[in-house]
Chains A and B, each alone.
Chain A
Amino acid sequence: AQKVTQAQTEISVVEKEDVTLDCVYETRDTTYYLFWYKQPPSGELVFLIRRNSFDEQNEISGRYSWNFQKSTSSFNFTITASQVVDSAVYFCALSEEGSQGNLIFGKGTKLSVKP
């Protein structure tokens, strides 16, 4: 069965610190997709990134970077030089090839960035 674990329930950092949010997944499929979503205090879910299981290249987008390691079934998310606007709940999610598009979410990590 597919499963996503975000072991960090809450993280608090001071502005400009780097922070890494962990995501570990379980799947039996060889083809799957991994996602990160951001949920700011306003409540909407904002898509950040999508990765398929055949693309292990790390990705950087501005202050955000993602480290995908199939060997450890992890898809970690790092924010460099965090800002107050990064304060949000971050969700990691998994979709298996045969699941008709269903997204299975982790329980989320609440990040608080203090000035």
Chain B
Amino acid sequence: DAGITQSPRYKITETGRQVTLMCHQTWSHSYMFWYRQDLGHGLRLIYYSAAADITDKGEVPDGYVVSRSKTENFPLTLESATRSQTSVYFCASSVEQGRGYTFGSGTRLTVV
């Protein structure tokens, strides 16, 4: 299917476990982003990527790792999950800076 897909939609994990959230887009957009959404904070940027093999930190990168070996994939890994990482995570892509950003459906992650 064309578009941007995130998996899983829902995930429950235990504190200390490693978990990876997947993001795949079919448009070959250069730019990809990970945001987390928390009540009272809106959406905050975790990491972004301007192209394959180019990634950079956003506002709240601590505890997260990303990679982008292929243009279409941008996985987000929580190396050792903490309760404070319980959130809804959104992946987004854009063909170029300033263009409309398309968001995935989100992953609701609960760390217990």
Number of B positions contacting A (CB below 8 A): 27
CB of A100 within 8 A of CB of B31, answer yes
Name the one of A33, A44, A108 contacting B103, with C-beta atoms under 8 angstroms. Answer: A44
CA distance A25 to B31 in the complex (A): 23
A102 contacts chain B at the CB level, 8 A cutoff: yes
Asked whether A95 and B56 contact (CB < 8 A) given A45-B90, A101-B31, A107-B42, the answer is: no
Indicate whether A105 sits within 8 Å of B43 (C-beta atoms), given known contacts A44-B106, A52-B98, A95-B97. yes
Nearest chain-A residue to B106 (Cβ)?
A: A43
A30 proximal to B (CB < 8 A): no
Whether B88 and A43, one on each chain, are in contact in the complex, defined by CB atoms closer than 8 angstroms, is yes
In the bound complex, residues from chain A placing their C-beta under 8 Å from that of B106 are 43-45
How far is the CB of B50 from the nearest CB of chain A, in Å? 5
The dominant DSSP class at the A interface is mixed
Complex partner residue of A95 from B43, B98, B103, CB under 8 angstroms: B98
> With the chains together, A8 CA to B106 CA distance in Å?
25
Give Cα A103–Cα B33 distance, bound, in whole angstroms: 9
Q: Does B94 contact A (CB under 8 A)?
A: yes
**Measured CA separation A92–B23 after assembly (Å):** 24
Q: List 18 contacting pairs A-B, 8 Å CB cutoff, sorted by A.
A: A43-B106, A44-B106, A45-B90, A50-B98, A50-B100, A95-B98, A100-B48, A100-B50, A100-B56, A100-B97, A101-B33, A101-B94, A102-B45, A103-B35, A103-B101, A104-B45, A105-B42, A107-B42
